[in-house]
């Protein structure tokens, strides 16, 4: 999110945009990352469970992540251009769940939307909070094809460390990767 | 797995191989799927939390999936060459959890291992079982960098449908995508 931790509310959402999967790109991705015949061979795929070539679930997930990164960057640039300081997103410690609900086929156009479900201050990283969000992907027929439940860090704007925290932060030599990604 | 559902036991494991991440490939992947400066710009990345360029967690996950697909294919081919009929793996309904534990940096060599944690017959798809496995990725220093908890379908070798199931299967016109990926 481009908002500071304090200003984010449960239910806040962000449209991440739409992406149309071509057969050519599905094959290219899968030859590199998911080389199974129902992902790479349109003829053989006719005889698979799916009755035709489909995108890898990983591809669907990665495209959603890419759209999210691009959308956040676009919004940040627009805010900076207006003289507003955007909130700071941290890295993701992980994905809680990821479900492949429907096959994504060539020429399917998939829309992604992120919704914040809950937030809490990080237990181990002073000045940061954790956001728990869902990313839902829907095809052009309105069918949900994919959902992921993701965790991500979000910086607090108004954080003032107390003496103990200041000592702790100094001792940890922040920015320190380990504690950050271990939460 | 290349084994039939009946022959798979909790704790069965499979080394999926090792992959060394080059800076060039990290940048190439991230320009396409995770275009953030700590993934794409070695100079700017020095000033990030990570102190240098790192692979996207998604890239680490996708490489592991690729190694798994390749390893299964290699083992299947070896079994067929020996006249053995390999077990049939179905698609994955999803990932239960995925955790990024340590940064993966250029020239890190990551080893992946799959271990079956538990299995049960599918509640909705007669003749198939569900496997619940972990994929753990470890760097050359022995540090765990990534773990995913994945679900996947595995076909039963000895499945004999009863009359009700035969009728159900006929009615569902198996192979049918919808129920399979909905579980």
Rg of chain B on CA atoms, in Å = 20
Residues in B touching A97 (Cβ below 8 Å): 94-97
**Which uninterrupted H or E stretch holds A76?**
helix A57-81
**pLDDT digit string (tens) for B110-167?**
999 999 999 999 987 888 999 999 999 999 999 999 999 999 999 998 877 777 766 6
The whole-number pLDDT of residue A92 equals 85
Q: What is d(CA A135, CA A16) in angstroms, rounded to the nearest whole number?
A: 9
pLDDT value at position A183? 45
Q: Closest approach of chain A CAs to the CA of B10, in angstroms?
A: 22
Picking from A94, A99, A177, the nearest residue to B93 by CB comes out as: A99
Query: What are the helix (H) ranges across chain B?
Result: 23-33, 37-40, 42-45, 57-81, 163-172, 177-182
Domain parsing of chain B, residue ranges: 5-182
pLDDT tens digits, residue range A124-175? 888 899 999 999 999 999 999 999 999 999 999 887 777 776 666 665 555 5
CB contact under 8 A, B61 and A58: yes
**Helices A23-33 + B57-81 axis angle, to 10:** 80
B140: nearest Cα among B21, B38, B43: B21
- Predicted local distance difference test score (pLDDT) of residue A160: 77
Whether B95 sits inside 8 A of A90 (CB atoms) is: no
- Pair A155, A8: CB distance under 8 Å: no
pLDDT in tens, A40-69: 999 999 988 889 999 999 999 999 999 999
**Beta-carbon separation of B62 and A62 below 8 A:** yes
**pLDDT score recorded for residue A163:** 73
Of B66, B94, B177, which has the smallest distance from its Cβ to A51's Cβ?
B177
User: Phi, psi at residue A17, to the nearest 5°?
Assistant: 105, 180
Tell the burial category of A124 from Cβ atoms under 10 Å away from its Cβ (0-12, 13-18, 19+).
exposed
The whole-angstrom separation of Cα A105 and Cα A87 is: 36
**B49's tokens:** 């939390």
pLDDT the model gives residue A48: 85
Q: What number of C-beta contacts closer than 8 Å exist between A and B?
A: 104
CB < 8 Å to B40, chain A: none
Question: Under CATH, which number does the domain A5-182 receive?
Answer: 3.10.129.10
pLDDT at B182: 43
CB-CB neighbours of A109 under 10 Å: 13
**Partner-chain contact B49 A90, CB within 8 Å:** yes
Place of tokens 């390749």: B70
pLDDT category of residue B170 using cuts at 50, 70 and 90: low
- The pLDDT, as a whole number, for residue A177 is 47
- Give the containing element (helix H, strand E) for A37: helix A37-40
Dihedrals phi, psi of B165, to nearest 5 degrees: -65, -40
pLDDT digits 0-9 by tens, B67-113: 999 999 999 999 999 999 998 888 888 899 999 999 999 999 999 99
- pLDDT score for A17: 97
Which DSSP string do the residues of A103-171 spell out, in sequence order?
A: ---TT-EEEEEEEEEEEEE-SSSTTEEEEEEEEEEE-TTS-EEEEEEEEEEEE-SS----HHHHHHHHH
Q: How confident is the model at residue A180 (pLDDT cuts 50, 70, 90)?
A: low
Reported as a single tens digit per residue, the pLDDT across A26-42 is: 999 999 999 999 999 99
Burial degree of A60 (CB within 10 A; 0-12, 13-18, 19+): buried
* ipTM summary value: 0.82
Mind listing the pLDDT tens digit for each residue in A71-127? Answer: 999 999 999 999 999 988 887 888 999 999 999 999 999 999 999 999 999 988 888
Nearest to B61 by CA among B24, B85, B33: B33
pTM: 0.85
Beta-carbon separation of A50 and B90 below 8 A:
no
Angle between helices B23-33 and A57-81 (to 10 degrees): 80
Give the pLDDT band of residue B172 (cuts 50, 70, 90): low
Question: Which residues in A lie closer than 8 A to residue B34 (C-beta atoms)?
Answer: 62, 65-66, 69
Measure in Å the smallest separation between the Cα of B102 and chain A Cα atoms: 7
Q: Which residues pair with B131 in a beta bridge?
A: B119, B152
Q: Do A48 and B175 touch (CB under 8 A)?
A: yes
Tokens (6 digits) for B6:
């009946």
């Amino acid at each position: 999110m481009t908002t500071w931790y304090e200003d984010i509310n449960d239910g806040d959402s962000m449209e991440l945009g739409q992406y149309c999967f071509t057969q050519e790109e599905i094959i290219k991705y899968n030859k590199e990352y998911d080389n199974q015949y129902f992902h790479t061979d349109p003829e053989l795929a006719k005889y698979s469970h799916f009755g035709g070539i489909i995108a890898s679930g990983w591809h669907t997930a990665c495209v959603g992540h890419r759209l999210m990164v691009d959308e956040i960057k676009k919004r940040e640039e627009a805010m900076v251009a207006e003289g507003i300081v955007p909130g700071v997103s941290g890295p993701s410690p992980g994905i809680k769940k990821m479900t492949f609900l429907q096959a994504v086929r060539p020429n399917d156009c998939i829309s992604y939307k992120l919704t914040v479900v809950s937030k809490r201050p990080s237990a181990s990283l002073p000045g940061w909070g954790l956001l728990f969000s869902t990313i839902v992907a829907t095809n052009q027929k309105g069918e949900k094809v994919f959902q992921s439940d993701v965790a991500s860090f979000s910086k607090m704007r108004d954080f003032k460390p107390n003496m103990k925290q200041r000592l702790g932060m100094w001792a940890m030599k922040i920015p320190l990767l380990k504690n950050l990604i271990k939460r």
